Homo-oligomer: A and B are copies of this chain.
Amino acid sequence: MALHRDAAGAVEHGRALGALRPRLPGWQLHDQVRSQRAVRGGRARVWVPRLRSAASPIRRPRRLGDLCHRSAQSIRLGPRVDRTSSGPADLGAGPARWQTPPGPWPTLCGMPCLVVHGGAGTPPAAERQERQDAVERALDAGWKEMRLGALEAVLAAVRCMEDEPSLNAAVGACLNRDGEIELDAGVMEGTQLRAGAVGAVKDVRHPVDLAHAILRDGQHVLLCGEGASRFAREHAVETCDPVLFITDRQLRNWWDAADTVGAVAHDERGRTAVAVSTGGTYRKWPGRLGDSPLVGAGFYAEDGMGVACGTGIGEGFMRLCLCHLAVVEMGHGMPSTEVAQKAVQHLARRVGGLGGMIMIDSSGRPAAAWNSEFMAWSQRIG
Contacts and interface: CB of A to CB of B under 8 A. Distances in A.
A218 to B, nearest CB: 9
Nearest to A60: B304
Interface residues of A, number: 99
Given A225-B224, A319-B295, A106 B38 contact: yes
Contacts of A200: 224-225, 227
A291 to B, nearest CB: 9
Contacts of A37: 104
Contact of A285 (B44, B220, B314): B220
A34 interface: yes
A107 interface: yes
A226 B286 contact: yes
Given A18-B16, A106-B38, A222 B61 contact: no
Kindly list the 7 A-B residue pairs having the minimum CB-CB distance in the complex, ordered from nearest: A227-B287, A296-B321, A59-B304, A227-B286, A15-B15, A18-B332, A61-B331
25 contacts: A8-B33, A15-B15, A15-B24, A18-B305, A18-B333, A21-B333, A34-B104, A44-B106, A45-B106, A46-B110, A47-B107, A48-B111, A52-B110, A56-B270, A59-B362, A61-B304, A61-B331, A193-B319, A193-B320, A195-B318, A219-B315, A222-B318, A231-B285, A294-B294, A296-B318
Interface of A: 6, 8-9, 11-12, 14-18, 21, 24, 26-27, 29-30, 33-35, 37-38, 41, 43-48, 52, 55-56, 58-63, 83, 103-111, 188, 192-195, 199-200, 219-228, 230-231, 268-270, 284-289, 294-297, 300, 302-305, 314-315, 318-321, 324-325, 328, 331-333, 350-351, 362
